[in-house]
A and B are shown apart, each in its own frame.
Chain A
Amino acid sequence: MDIIVCVKWVPDTSEADLAIAGGAKDIKKDDLDHDINDWDRFAVEEAVQIKEKVGGKVTVVSVAPEDAEEMLRESLARGADEAFHLWDDAFEGSDGYAVATILAKFIKDRPFDLILTGTLADDDCSGQVGGMLAAMLGVPNAVLVSSIEFLDRKVKFKKELEGGLYEAVEMDLPAQLSVATGLNEPRFVSIRAVRKVASAEIPVIDCGELGLDESQVGPQGSKIQVEEVAMPPEGEGAEIIGGGAEEAAGRLAEILKEKGGIG
């Protein structure tokens, strides 16, 4: 089973105090830590587990600036066989469509049975690259996949619907699946595993080497454009209970008691 996993390098915004950048086209990202997109961690683990079960090769690829090399190296430490870093200054400002164009161009001439992505990236919250990539490569796809099983030239999987309901689906290979978080338990990476891949080569491939024209990537190759970003209106919001932990907890306990929160 040859599996290609697409991983995204995203700013960690879940706990950060976000600020809008000058021009209001994006947030300020310079001070934010970056890491692999949470959903993609599960995709890498799934690919490695499949390989360990049925054999084959796992290739990890990302369209990402230089710093992202550490994410690709960590993917190797997690058990991927090879990693490719697609980057060119011209890629800056690509939307999901342009990113899918770049990935499709890279994958087109490689043999694969399965492409795994995350369902959604935490930065753009779009959930589009997987499905677009599948359509560009002419293979069927599904998102929110929560367990995968292989039959002869077919894949059988469970897809998450709303309210805890799932559907079981069968699909012809080659195929593209976007995984849901929680479909496995991403492994702990040992220091030994990290050392082993410390000098592994991770080729960086640019626009020209991919055979893409600059008009196909970046803002020019994008189908949508972010015009403006803003923090959502504050609204009424919660009444914040001040004081230290002790004092606030005391006040909160009283409020809970008053409002029936202590049964």
Chain B
Amino acid sequence: MTRIFVLAEHRLQKLRDATWEALEAGRKLAADLGGELNCILLTDNAAGMADELAKECPKVLVVEDPKFETFNSDSAMKALAAILSDKAPFMLVMGNSNSMMDLAPGLAVALDAALATDCFAFEVKDGRPAAFRQMYNYKVNAKVSFKGAEKIVVTLRGGAFPFSSGGGAAGAVEKIASPVADEAPRKRFLNYVEAEKGDVDIASADIIVSLGRGIGDEPDMEIFESLADAMGGVLACSRPIVDKNLLPKYHQVGTSGVEVKPKVYLALGISGAFQHVGGIKGAPLIVAVNKDAKAPIFRVAQYGIVGDLNEVVPALEEKIKDLKG
């Protein structure tokens, strides 16, 4: 009877998508493991959010404490360790958001639990769960087991567990006194800092020429600019290109960059990690040039050229100019 706990995540008094995805995964795990499903909400003000969760979950445990107005992994870790210390066997499920990445590893240690991060699927056999996740630059799938642990923490790949409403009877909301009421957090939120805006807005571009690490350490950016010009598109990029200061951050496509929804996306020397591909919305025509025939980008692209972009890019610009006449 493994109990399932789902940790809710919210920002600015609104539950985040990751919460619902975690609830979806939790519901399935509860059914497979035969345990009850609980949701934990740490917040300064549960109004609205607790009821919203109760519509989809049989039991919602609520801790109200001003410390939880914004996400604080230091206080959350201590509160959750206290709440869950006597609940084994259990599985705690949460998103693998940038905030939860602060929390999950330390919490696993505090609980002496086994942790698997960024899981995209689960399997239950003989009452024991196993998780599926990716390794090696997200190129290989791995199945991991928890060695029979009675306490398990898992974080979930964003988008891997699309939520659909359960439509059952409303669950119970139970308030718990804050286990960290008297503790000063060692970590304090100061303020949000918005993304820098630039002279181009790749979010509204129809044609995107996107550059990845495959363009090399000292690329001739002009050949890409002139290709983008010839296509009437804009330049975008993957994260390493911003890290190397080859393009400003507002050109970065992906989960930690900008979401784009072009008609055509030309990926040059991009491997296709999910944090990159996750930023491409609206099912555009994706075309990739990569020298690695097994690069994951070819799984999401409709057309591909396996080859060296340094040869393909100038040739492509020529051909496009020819076609335009």
Q: A239, B304: Cβ atoms under 8 Å?
A: yes
A246–B311 CA distance with the chains assembled, in angstroms: 8
A186–B138 CA distance with the chains assembled, in angstroms: 24
Which of B30-38, B58-66, B295-303 is the interface stretch? B295-303
- The CB with the most chain B CB atoms within 10 A, among A222, A226, A252, is that of A252
Query: Could you tell me which residues of chain A, from 17 to 45, have a CB within 8 Å of some CB in chain B?
Result: 17-18, 20, 27, 42
Q: B109, A132: Cβ atoms under 8 Å?
A: yes
Dominant SS at the B interface? mixed
Q: B258, A125: Cβ atoms under 8 Å?
A: no
Q: A181, B239: Cβ atoms under 8 Å?
A: yes
Q: B141, A231: Cβ atoms under 8 Å?
A: yes
Q: B140, A248: Cβ atoms under 8 Å?
A: no
Q: Does B26 contact A (CB under 8 A)?
A: no
Q: B264, A169: Cβ atoms under 8 Å?
A: no
Q: Does B14 contact A (CB under 8 A)?
A: no
Q: Which one, A126, A140, A245, contacts B74 given CB within 8 A? A: A140
Number of A-B contacts (CB under 8 A): 304
Chain B residues within an 8 Å CB radius of A109? none
Dominant SS at the A interface? mixed
Q: A135, B105: Cβ atoms under 8 Å?
A: yes
Q: A225, B145: Cβ atoms under 8 Å?
A: yes
Chain A residues within an 8 Å CB radius of B293? 240
A144–B141 CA distance with the chains assembled, in angstroms: 24
Which of B45-53, B86-94, B167-175, B183-191 is the interface stretch? B183-191
Q: Does A165 contact B (CB under 8 A)?
A: yes
Q: A163, B141: Cβ atoms under 8 Å?
A: no
Q: A181, B243: Cβ atoms under 8 Å?
A: yes
Q: A132, B105: Cβ atoms under 8 Å?
A: yes
A161–B255 CA distance with the chains assembled, in angstroms: 9
Knowing A169-B189, A249-B319, A255-B287, the reply to whether A124 touches B135 (Cβ < 8 A) is yes
Which of A7-15, A48-56, A78-86, A197-205 is the interface stretch? A7-15
Knowing A262-B231, A263-B231, the reply to whether A224 touches B115 (Cβ < 8 A) is yes
Q: Does A182 contact B (CB under 8 A)?
A: yes
Listed by A's residue number, 16 A-B pairs whose Cβ atoms lie within 8 Å are A97-B108, A125-B133, A128-B105, A131-B103, A134-B105, A143-B102, A144-B98, A159-B98, A163-B257, A182-B239, A225-B145, A238-B287, A245-B311, A245-B312, A254-B319, A262-B230
Interface residues of B (CB under 8 A from A): 70, 73-74, 77, 97-99, 101-110, 113-118, 130, 133-147, 149, 186-196, 206-207, 213-214, 230-233, 239-240, 242-245, 249-250, 252, 255-259, 263-264, 266, 271, 285-288, 291-294, 296, 298-299, 301-308, 311-312, 315-316, 318-320, 322-324
Besides A135-B108, A140-B186, A162-B98, 12 new A-B residue pairs in contact (Cβ under 8 A), listed by A number:
A125-B135, A129-B105, A131-B102, A132-B109, A135-B107, A168-B192, A170-B190, A223-B149, A227-B144, A261-B207, A261-B287, A262-B323
| CB-CB nearest 3 A-B residue pairs | A263-B232, A164-B195, A131-B105
